[in-house]
Amino acid sequence: MAEVSTANSRDKCWTVIGGQVYDITPYIGSHPGGEQKVLKLCGKDGAQAFQNQHGGQNKPKNILDGFKIGVLK
């Protein structure tokens, strides 16, 4: 989580969801709900926010899977 916490900006935005690490930097400008929804997840565990917004929906999960860069240790 220490490494993820350093990726907390528009230039490098990583988040953790379900123990998986995602580089969501490329998605900042593409998110249908607006950039701020993505930016608030940078450098943090975004699981709760993702679940609250997209829980049970396949499309957001499939999009997110394309940004996976690792597994949180």
Rounded Cα gap, residues 15 and 40, in angstroms: 10
CATH number at residue 44: 3.10.120.10
**Proportion of the chain above pLDDT 70, given as a percent:** 100
**Side by side, which strands form the sheet with 14-17?**
44-45, 14-17, 20-23, 68-71
Specify the pLDDT at position 73.
85
Q: Tell me: the pLDDT tens digits for 30-51?
A: 999 899 999 999 999 999 999 9
* Tally of domains within the chain: 1
- Which range marks the domain in which residue 45 is found? 2-71
Q: Tell me: the pLDDT tens digits for 16-27?
A: 999 999 999 999
Q: What is the pTM of this model?
A: 0.93
